[in-house]
Structure 1
Amino acid sequence: MVQSQRKPNLRESLNLSKLALAYPWLTLCLWLIVAVAGIFAYSSLKYALFPDITFPVVIVQAETSLQTTLATEQQLTTILEQPLQSLTGLDQLNSVTYPGRSIITHLFYPGQNLASVQQEVEAKLTEVSLPPDTDVKVIPFNLNESTVVSYGITSQSKSLTELIPIVQTQMIPTIKSIPGVLRVDLLGDLSSQELNQSSETSLPNHSFPSLVHLNGDNALAIAVVKRSDANTLEVVKQVQAAIATIQPSLKDIQITLAATQADYIREATQATIEALWGAIVLAVVVIFGCLRNWAATIITALAIPISLLGTFIIMAIAGFNLETITLLALALTIGIVVDDAIVDVENIVRYLEAGSQPRQAVTEATQEIGFTVSVTTLTIVAVFLPVAFMGGTVGQFFKPFGLTVAAAVITSLLVARTLSPVLALYWLRSKNNRGNNHGDFNSKLISYYRRLLQWSLQHRKTVIAIALITMVAGLGLIPLVPKGFIPQLDRGEFNIIYTTPLPKLDQIPQQQETEANTSNQAETNQNFAWLQQLAQSPARILLNKTLRVGKEIEQVTLADPEVQSVFTVAGLQGKPNQGKLYVKLNPNRTLTTAEIQAQLRNKLPTIPGVQISIEDIPFVDIESKQNLQIALAGDDLKALTQTAKQLQKKVETLPGFADITLSNESENIDSLTKIERRNGQRVVFFNANLSQGKTIGDATEELEEIAKPLLPQGVTLQLSGDAALSSDVLGSFAETLIFAIACMLLLLILLFGRLLEPIVVALCLPLALIGAMLALLFTQNDFGMIAVIGTIFLVGLLDKNAILLMDYINQLRQTGLTRTEAILKTGIVRLRPIIMTTGSTVLGMLPIALGWGAGAELRQPMAVTIIGGLITSTLLSLIVVPVVYTLLEDFWVQRVHQKRS
């Protein structure tokens, strides 16, 4: 008795439509205000490629008079590392030790305050006891402080030496004064600043001595670095305006755009917005095709822009941008927004078709469906809110996603429950005595579905067996689907990073004579002397050598007809033996970026001692970022290096691995010029790029299998870079998915007041798996971060269909119908809205799934997953949900009867 009273009260409390219909003009005015405010909010949102995330990094640089790498490691590096490993929010602690120098890099979890972590580092350093002559510097910087645009500066009448003061006085001050600009680095100026650290030091670039080439010509360059909280497109726009103002006053000086992030960001966001519009148009087409009623179609379609405008208000308040992740969220919610409106409006139309007058139809239809729509929408919020509060890097990355989805879903619920009924009251009219106006196709479809449903209820074991086979098949497909992290983007730009060999000891000019000594100690002393002298003339010799190598690579690259421009810098972040070529491809190229990279690898010259790596543009501003990185960790450096070389030898013969490098190739511990450590352990890094379509997940699994038999005792394999992120992402999302499902089921228990419906939903969730995996396998999209998002979305959509069926079954049974009669009638009544919502979502995802436009690789896996999973889950749930519902109820009744007897 208590339960029968509770449900109507709850259903009544969730019926916002009753209040909206009582005050229709107030409802319309409120939504008009939301729409206007949403337009202003939209105009305030900025475009970006990814969410604004702070990547705090603190470097501790310590120098002392110790003359060997081993002694420096023992007496300086390890002493510094011990207290620093306990820092709050520390993600990774890396160190590089040279003779007399330690450089410890602290990578903190994103989103933390840089000033706070710097203070904590400085406080920890007061606890350590170091050699008396040690000089320690703490250098904070934010990886989000990225170079957003670079310009090459050349002149036919002036030398580079003559250009330097002009650039320093007439260009840099103007650009530096632009809001959002952190600094302007001058490149190509050998005298800009003396090199005061070793050739391997990784520090932020502050105009270190460098040499520049632009499309084969010597040049100067300026690199504009934005502040961490500045918007890339806005900064670049203002810099371009400043350059246009400066250029007329600099006669005989050419200022050429060399590199920028802005073009791709603009193209990618525009492509996503176009896909979003395509989704809206196709969704509306489906609605009209099913309802054949212009007024009902317009009412349903209006829910989309109104819901989006309401979401823009929340996004503006939260400080989000219109970037890949939030735009994906908006594209994703089109299906949900349409679903809510479709279910409400379709139910009203159904009552009108039965002959009810408009007010009666709207009142009764919204009362009947209001509880269902509210429950399904709230469960989707329960599914996606945990995504917004995931921890670590992934959590920071997807916080805007989860909150944007939640905001859009709640807004769409309010629109469907208030605005849509009011508009229906004014615009829709009764269609009494018109009979079935949906055509023979719908009649035949309903008749076929009724027979199939009736057969299924009579053959429940067969249906369950088919469902189980389908679920097992879906699980079996998972190992066959390529696994990745973030898909490789066809950006039309990439980097070529190269490293020239360091000079041999007898080639290095010595300031003082050293006694001929072949002992290891003497050799180490010479290495130390070389490191000290590298800041002087040898550094400049190395820069010239590095530029010459860059020219060789540049000539081959520019000869490729698909290449538009090449911007070469010799001397990266204080490393005179390292250079970078930024390669910009022609916009009308016939090949993808990956295909051009593969061709170029075969064309580039083999230069003795030179390591060349063709790399994608990294998501954060770091000079070098190979796809795959693993660390061999242990105490024995000789064993680490030997194992790394064995692994390199085996992997070099395998397809899909390219540009393989090791961070340390010296097995003689006494002559080491550097020792690398990671989280307190010695390491040697194995780095490689991936080609021929090999994904990070598959490559990592293959590499681990090869490495296992090679690992001696005391040596372990640790994932790093994208390999570690890929593993963390899948693990984090698995935990989040379980938590999201638990939240959803708990909410269903609270709303339905019993366990039957939540258990049916839980048992039917795997039905989406077979379609999702088949779709990914067929299209060869990675099952990675973006596809997992689509999988979470499928959970919410399948949940909506199941609740839509079960709630109406329960309502009909309360009117006196038998269970079978209620199920069959529910099937007939709910078939149309389920097909409409599925069709509109599938077609809405189609523009994204087709992979058109810049950045399509990021969007496509999500859409493919949703389309495949939604088709199979809808077809199966229309049959399996009623069957499982009856089986569980029979089991429940039987158990109760057994207990009573």
Structure 2
Amino acid sequence: MKIAKWAVTKPISVLMVIAMILLLGAVSLVKLPMDLLPKMNIPIAVINTQYVGAGPYEIENLVTKPIEEAVAAVHNVKNIHSNSMEGTSIVTVELNQGTDMDLATLEIREKIDLIKGYLPEDATQPIVLKIDPNALPIMVFSVTGDHLEKLQEVVEYRIKPRLERLEGVASVGVTGGRQKVVTIKVDPMQLTMQGITQQQLGALIRGENINLPGGEIIEDTKSLTVRTVAEFQTIEEIKALPIPLPIGTTMKLEDLAEVTFQEEKITQIAKINGIPSIRIALQKQPTFNTIQVTNMLHEEVKKLQDELENIELVTVTDQSLFIRRSISNVAKTAAFGGLLAVLILYLFMKSLKNTLVIALSIPISIIATFTLMYFTGLTLNLLSLGGFALGIGMLVDNGIVVLENIYRFREEGYSAVEASIHGAQEVAMAVAASTLTTIAVFLPIVFVEGMTGEIFKELALTVTFSLLASLGVSLTLVPMLASKIVKSKPSSSYKIFDRIEEMFQKVNAFYSNLLKWSLSYRRLILSITIFIFLISMISIAWVGAEYFPEFDEGTFMIHITLPEGSSLKESEAMANKVEKILETYEDIEIIFTSIGGGDSYFGYQSRKTNRVSIDVRLKSFRERQEKTLYIIDKVRKDLGQIAGANITVSNLSFVGMGFGDEAVEVEIQGDSIEILREISQDFIEMIKKVEGTREVTSNFTEGRPQLELYINREIAVPYGLQTLQIANTIRNFVHGMIVTRFRVNGEEHDVVIQGKDYLREGTGNFMQLPVQTMTGEVLPLEHVTSYSISQGPNAIRRSNQVRSITIKAAIMDRDLNSIIRDIESQLKGYPLAAGYSYQFRGQKEALEEAYSSLALAVILAVLLVYMVLAIQFQSLLHPLIIMLSVPLAFSGGALGLLLRGIPLSVPAIIGVIVLSGIVVNNGIVLIDYINILRENKKETEEAILIAGTTRLRPIMMTTLTTILGLLPLALGVSEGSEVQMPLATTVIGGLVLSTPLTLIVLPVIYAILDDLGIGKFHHRQG
């Protein structure tokens, strides 16, 4: 290759190119956004439809089913799930990964438009939303201070506007405060006596509280704008409002009703560490980066904190915190791995100058990669940084080969310049082929489907970019520096180098004798190798399997559900009990409690007074004594002693957010809700018996008791009463109706008319509610209706247009696969009724999809490596011999996972794919040199012995640099290392076992094939 000659003869040009690369890389690094994981396209759309007043069964039949049938015809639909609740239908459409969600949502809207006419008239327009990971709050603040009402004003009018103005902030949600409302409580009996209805009273108040423009008039020569100003200024003005009565007199509003201006009824409470507070949740705009937005938020909050007295803003959750720590830790471990690799180089090279020549390829390659990452739209995340850590040990391999070959030419009498040119040119093709074999294994990851492919593409691209940059550096900078700086092969006077050399000579002698012995006992060597391979493959059964390791983010959430109909006061008392238990844990830093939350993430329309959620943040990874999972398990046991509520604890991690709340999900399908409930209760009891399961619950919840009114039309119709009129009367008196807004001190407050409290105190009082007929006659509600008290399901859930109930369970101290296996054996003999079935969802489903895709990727990787080798060797046989090191590497990877107690997971299989490209490099170096010696008329055994002992040093160097480069990641002692740990362990295990076996087994196989007369046709073309 002429590139080496250019580099040696044009050193200034090389230095300028390197300087340009470093400059661009530095700028790219500053501009590269940081995130925990790569940007993911979540192919899920949600259709939300409101039908006020309808129960779950009506919602299912009239709204949910037509929408499900319509969207089932959309292209690329994978699953359809629905939730029919009181007044709300939520249909979730999951599409295949890679679907263009903009086009998909457009098609979904088109399909819904076709059936809109069949939906109930009172149902709202179905809203189609894409699921966006940016919709989750990136930061949550808690604001504490004096009186909550005063605090509410500060948050609404000083803090919220300041945060909303910041670039990148999409929305600021405020909950937990107190707001005032003007309440006008009327007695329907008194209204009837005065001959006025609630609706008429509301219209009168609304008509008085108004400011309206009246046009213009001319006064002399001036034009005056006419404006009627009649809005209420004070609460006394509202109380004194004269109400005209049908009999021709007027009456003050305060004489007709109780008028109060006070805090509205509390439906939600927020507390931090037991102190009442207001919660501020912030969402970012999709195009902005989490770190950038949180940096601005922290700065603004600090300014606000300085400005506001007696008010404290506390960060409850901050997505950037774990991202920063994790990325910092991975970067540190990668840097430490790089230093270890350089140390090994120094010990083998015996010269600091020579070591630096090769070691320079690490920072230059990494900085060059930053530029490529920036222009290809990648981010700095755990996977891309993991790619750097993975590649660090390999970045020096090319430089080692080039420099060693340059020294060989120097020893043959060439000048420094000639040796640098010829030495680099001779191995250029071999180095390029070696790099291509490693890069080739990452190509199949492009074909991996689902979330797995989305996540690991960035790792593959990062490693590819860094290796290509390393190849460029080794063919330009290394020969250029070798011609200018390096004069001869060093012979150090330090004793440590002499001892290392002595040690290496002993190892070399031992290896030479072992190789001779192995060539004499070939069948025994093959038998031992096959035995090791079979044992390692069997060991996978003990390793276990899981989809993705959970991040130890130091946060978890407690969900408390009291019986339906429980009051806010009862929920608060239960929350206080839980908080007292949590306060005994030293590792817990912040406890944030929200009482009266929604039914689910999408059920925000109706607040539930019987629900409590508690966000718990632990101290940082290094400050606490135990991992989050073990703390969660202890908390579960302690909270299990509390009776009267269903309490669950879930780990807030990447797996939980992306692939289901719990590890185990069993979905039961059938037609009858009652039968499904019975089956689910039996399944729960059986799953509880499986060792390692925790919190086995179903998503079936009883609805709150409800008073169902039945209109007696034979009585109502003759009086001119319609169902709608009766229902509106009930709603207006019981729930209340907002008639206008009262503005005071720049703030607006609702003005609500509702019936007096006695109407809601007991069924007897409620049934006396007066209903006015068309003729003005008043009838008690009990005269035109009958009632019954019932309790049905809180929600009807369906999966792929069939009713379903899902059982969920967390796992502890066991891998997912073994627990699923035990659950399957438990459920196998259960007598399911005809038409009822069950299947595993969640992580089990994701695991099967990922493993099938990755299995194809492994096969493709092996085939691609073989093809690259065949091109390099111009032979079909010798690449096959080299490829035999791959199964040996797989054995080592499996044994590595077994010894570390790490389950087989998606990152571990990615490690297997990486191994396919790395381990063949040792075989290339060995077999290539054997062929060269054979061409020089050496006998087979002699060629094998010479090649083995000669290539032992470079093989040891490249293997040790890769292993030590990955060692800090494999130890997994810092935050964010959960993903890289299985990958690094697999690669290290594979190299540790395959390298010695490669040095023995491949020469033995080469000799056997030679004895059989296979391959003798091969002659290297040089």
Q: Same fold (TM over 0.5)?
A: yes
1: distance between equivalents of 2:412 and 2:825?
66
1:625 match:
661
2:785 match:
none
2: distance between equivalents of 1:244 and 1:666?
46
Kindly indicate whether residue 587 of structure 2 is the aligned counterpart of residue 556 of structure 1. no
Q: Is the 8 A contact 1:53 1:110 kept in 2?
A: no
Kindly indicate whether residue 957 of structure 2 is the aligned counterpart of residue 844 of structure 1. no
Counterparts of 1:783-798 in structure 2 under 5 Å?
A: 783-798=904-919
TM, length-normalised to structure 2? 0.77
Q: 1:110 and 1:432, CA in 2 relative to 1: closer, same or farther beyond 3 A? A: closer
2:269 match:
211
Kindly indicate whether residue 617 of structure 2 is the aligned counterpart of residue 584 of structure 1. yes
1:775 match:
896
Q: Is the 8 A contact 1:354 1:431 kept in 2?
A: no
SS in 2 for 1:172: helix
Shift of 1:66: 9.2
Shift of 1:472: 0.7
SS in 2 for 1:766: helix
2: distance between equivalents of 1:815 and 1:364?
21
* Matched residue type, 2:155: V
Kindly indicate whether residue 69 of structure 2 is the aligned counterpart of residue 79 of structure 1. no
Q: 1:190 and 1:722, CA in 2 relative to 1: closer, same or farther beyond 3 A? A: farther
Counterparts of 1:738-749 in structure 2 under 5 Å?
A: 738-749=859-870
Q: Is the 8 A contact 1:146 1:227 kept in 2?
A: no
Kindly indicate whether residue 633 of structure 2 is the aligned counterpart of residue 598 of structure 1. yes
Percent pairwise identity = 28
Q: 1:485 and 1:68, CA in 2 relative to 1: closer, same or farther beyond 3 A? A: same
Kindly indicate whether residue 859 of structure 2 is the aligned counterpart of residue 823 of structure 1. no
1:611 match:
646
1: distance between equivalents of 2:438 and 2:687?
45
* Greater displacement, 353-362 / 404-413: 353-362
Q: 1:637 and 1:887, CA in 2 relative to 1: closer, same or farther beyond 3 A? A: farther
1: distance between equivalents of 2:459 and 2:107?
31
Kindly indicate whether residue 105 of structure 2 is the aligned counterpart of residue 105 of structure 1. no
Alpha-carbon displacement from aligned partner over 1:361-412 (angstroms, at most 9, x marks no partner): 3344334432222111101111012224422211111121111111111111
1:862 match:
983
Shift of 1:111: 6.1
1:535 match:
none
Shift of 1:608: 4.2
1: distance between equivalents of 2:650 and 2:397?
43
* Matched residue type, 1:479: A
* Greater displacement, 51-60 / 664-673: 664-673
Kindly indicate whether residue 695 of structure 2 is the aligned counterpart of residue 659 of structure 1. yes
2:736 match:
none
Q: 1:112 and 1:224, CA in 2 relative to 1: closer, same or farther beyond 3 A? A: farther
Q: Is the 8 A contact 1:615 1:627 kept in 2?
A: no
* Matched residue type, 2:503: F
Q: 1:631 and 1:452, CA in 2 relative to 1: closer, same or farther beyond 3 A? A: same
Shift of 1:350: 4.5
SS in 1 for 2:173: strand
1:313 match:
371
* Matched residue type, 1:796: G
2: distance between equivalents of 1:893 and 1:743?
23
Shift of 1:257: 1.9
2: distance between equivalents of 1:738 and 1:86?
35
* Structure 1: gaps (5+ residues): 1-12, 194-207, 504-540
1:396 match:
454
Choose which of 504, 521, 524 in structure 2 pairs with 1:462: 524
Q: 1:448 and 1:400, CA in 2 relative to 1: closer, same or farther beyond 3 A? A: same
Alpha-carbon displacement from aligned partner over 1:597-636 (angstroms, at most 9, x marks no partner): 1221122254445222211113276898223222123345
TM, length-normalised to structure 1? 0.86
Shift of 1:771: 2.1
1:425 match:
483
Alpha-carbon displacement from aligned partner over 1:788-829 (angstroms, at most 9, x marks no partner): 222222111111111122222223333333333332222122
Alpha-carbon displacement from aligned partner over 1:555-611 (angstroms, at most 9, x marks no partner): 211222221110111214425233321112233222222221122112225444522
Q: Is the 8 A contact 1:53 1:144 kept in 2?
A: no
* Matched residue type, 1:702: D
Kindly indicate whether residue 315 of structure 2 is the aligned counterpart of residue 257 of structure 1. yes
2: distance between equivalents of 1:83 and 1:470?
56
SS in 2 for 1:816: coil
Alpha-carbon displacement from aligned partner over 1:230-272 (angstroms, at most 9, x marks no partner): 2222211111111112223322222222222222221111111
* Matched residue type, 1:593: T
Kindly indicate whether residue 328 of structure 2 is the aligned counterpart of residue 270 of structure 1. yes
Q: Is the 8 A contact 1:484 1:695 kept in 2?
A: yes
SS in 1 for 2:838: strand
1:525 match:
none
Alpha-carbon displacement from aligned partner over 1:716-751 (angstroms, at most 9, x marks no partner): 332322232222222221121112222222222233
Alpha-carbon displacement from aligned partner over 1:122-150 (angstroms, at most 9, x marks no partner): 01112336244243322414123321111
1: distance between equivalents of 2:114 and 2:660?
34
More helix by share: 1
* Matched residue type, 1:697: N
1:446 match:
508
More strand by share: 2
Q: Is the 8 A contact 1:389 1:399 kept in 2?
A: no
Kindly indicate whether residue 111 of structure 2 is the aligned counterpart of residue 124 of structure 1. yes
2:829 match:
709
Q: 1:554 and 1:42, CA in 2 relative to 1: closer, same or farther beyond 3 A? A: same
1: distance between equivalents of 2:377 and 2:491?
54
2:158 match:
170
1:196 match:
none
2:998 match:
877
Shift of 1:180: 1.6
* Matched residue type, 1:616: N
- RMSD across aligned positions (CA): 3.0
* Matched residue type, 1:657: T
Alpha-carbon displacement from aligned partner over 1:530-570 (angstroms, at most 9, x marks no partner): xxxxxxxxxxx754443332222122112222211101112
Shift of 1:431: 4.4
2: distance between equivalents of 1:799 and 1:725?
31
Q: Is the 8 A contact 1:307 1:411 kept in 2?
A: yes
Choose which of 795, 805, 814 in structure 2 pairs with 1:694: 814
Q: 1:872 and 1:630, CA in 2 relative to 1: closer, same or farther beyond 3 A? A: same
SS in 2 for 1:136: coil
1: distance between equivalents of 2:922 and 2:978?
29
* Greater displacement, 354-363 / 174-183: 354-363
SS in 1 for 2:125: strand
Counterparts of 1:328-727 in structure 2 under 5 Å?
A: 328-352=386-410, 356-431=414-489, 439-503=501-565, 542-570=567-595, 571-572=597-598, 573=601, 574=604, 575-576=607-608, 577-587=610-620, 588-604=623-639, 606-619=641-654, 625-664=661-700, 671-691=792-812, 693-710=813-830, 712=832, 713-727=834-848
Q: 1:155 and 1:115, CA in 2 relative to 1: closer, same or farther beyond 3 A? A: same
Aligned pair count? Answer: 830
1:524 match:
none
